[in-house]
Structure 1
């Protein structure tokens, strides 16, 4: 029965894709934005999580200002998700995908094997265009629906990448590919097992997969991210992250310092383009604290005003 339900979902997914592809590209993105705003209004827990997170980072902004950022963030997420349906055509269309500093692509090519951190930010799937030129190994989230998962994998693999599915053994697989001299890229801005860091002034945990590989194999580390423009095109940015090179420190300390450096760079990017980041994740566990009644007073009082 479960497989049958998954199959029905997949058929609906294919119908949605076929229907969307009838429309011009800009219309597809506008539809994605409308559906995203609908989900923002309907999914209360996600909406409250988003606004609490935003209030933490922008305490002086009014509720209306925070809501504007939140809605635009949802729109960016919706465009990134829907855009995977024709991603190869989108990034190869003239004017749709521009690297802000093309010389940085050459820097990456000349410094392989390398490691690259990316974020749940803007057109995150558009980064596959850069990964294509570097023959990257990366990790993708496995969708619950196996039929939809297979479709998404097919869309991503057309970019000449090695795509691993998230699993308990994926860390060992990445190390194996790193030993083979392959370039490694991982989404690494959300909470997970790793090391203690400070993120926007709040102690939290950050994954260390990419920074561990960078330090262990003495590789350059880059932060790569994409920003949606008003005309639905994408501008990609590449920044090199400073690694800890202090050989007197233990390996785990070098990884921690390098991870904190990466987080600081992410903070700068998010502050510059707050409407592009995925605020709906309970990154600091604020929403869980709110439900338990343990959230700090300023955010708890703010959350009580939300509908």
Structure 2
């Protein structure tokens, strides 16, 4: 029965894709923006989570100002999701994909194999265009619907990347590919098992997958991210992250410092382009604390203003 439901969902997915592809690209993106704004208004738990996170980072801003950023962020998420439906056509279309600092491509070529930290930010899928040139190994979240998941995987794998589906063996697989001198890229900005860091002044946990590989295999570490421009094109950035190389420290300590350095760079990017980051994730568990009645007073008072 479950497979039948998934299959029906997949058929509806294919029908929606076929209908959308009848319209110009800009119209598809505008449709995604409108749908995302609607979800922002309907899903109150996500709305509260988003605004609490934004209040942490921008305490000086009013609720109205934060809501403007939140809505733009949801539009970005919608564009990133719907863009997977014609990903290969999008990034290969002239003018749709540009590099802000093309000289850094030469640095990547020279410093292979490298490690790349990525973010839930802007056009995440646009990063695959860079991966195409370097045959990067990366990790993708498995969708609940296996038919839809296969469709998304197929769209991503056309970019000459090696895509691992997240599983219990993912860490072992990444180490295996790292030993084979492959370039590795992993999303690094969301909460997961890892090491203690301070993110926008708040203690939290950050994953150490990519920083561990950078330190263990003595690789250069880069932060690579993309933003959506107003004309729906993608602008990509490549920044080198300072790695801890103090040989008097343990491996664990070096990974922790390198992870904190990565988080510091991510902070700068988010502050510059706040409308491009996915604020809806309960990154600092504020929403869970809010529901339990354990959220700190300033954020609790702010949450009362959210309708």
Please, what TM-score do these two structures have when normalized by structure 2? 1.00
Which portions of structure 1, spanning 4 or more consecutive aligned residues, are displaced by more than 6 angstroms? none
Counterparts of 1:111 and 1:16, CA distance in 2: 43
Counterparts of 2:303 and 2:31, CA distance in 1: 30
Aligned twin of 1:171: 171
How far is 1:168 from its partner? 1.3
Cα-to-partner distance string for 1:89-130 (whole Å, 9 max, x where unaligned): 111111110000111011101100000000000001000000
How far is 1:3 from its partner? 0.4
Counterparts of 2:120 and 2:45, CA distance in 1: 19
Secondary structure of the equivalent of 1:270?
Answer: helix
Secondary structure of the equivalent of 1:225?
Answer: strand
Secondary structure of the equivalent of 2:227?
Answer: strand
Please, what TM-score do these two structures have when normalized by structure 1? 1.00
Instruction: Say whether residues 1:221 and 2:221 are aligned partners.
Output: yes
How far is 1:275 from its partner? 0.2
Aligned twin of 1:140: 140
Aligned twin of 1:74: 74
How far is 1:287 from its partner? 0.4
How far is 1:305 from its partner? 1.4
Secondary structure of the equivalent of 1:108?
Answer: helix
Once the two structures are superposed, the pairs formed by residues 41-120 of structure 1 within 5 Å of their partners are 41-120=41-120
Secondary structure of the equivalent of 2:167?
Answer: coil
Secondary structure of the equivalent of 1:226?
Answer: strand
Structure 1: tracts of 5 or more residues without a match: none
Counterparts of 2:109 and 2:84, CA distance in 1: 25
Once the two structures are superposed, the pairs formed by residues 1-307 of structure 1 within 5 Å of their partners are 1-307=1-307
Cα-to-partner distance string for 1:54-91 (whole Å, 9 max, x where unaligned): 00110110111000000000000000000011111111
Counterparts of 2:137 and 2:122, CA distance in 1: 21
Cα-to-partner distance string for 1:198-219 (whole Å, 9 max, x where unaligned): 0000000000000000000000
Structure 2: tracts of 5 or more residues without a match: none
Counterparts of 1:7 and 1:233, CA distance in 2: 33
Secondary structure of the equivalent of 2:295?
Answer: coil
Counterparts of 2:200 and 2:101, CA distance in 1: 27
Secondary structure of the equivalent of 2:159?
Answer: coil
Counterparts of 1:301 and 1:46, CA distance in 2: 18
Cα-to-partner distance string for 1:209-253 (whole Å, 9 max, x where unaligned): 000000000000000000100000110000000000000000000
Counterparts of 1:235 and 1:193, CA distance in 2: 31
Cα-to-partner distance string for 1:118-170 (whole Å, 9 max, x where unaligned): 00000010000001101000000000000000000000000000000001110
Counterparts of 1:160 and 1:109, CA distance in 2: 16
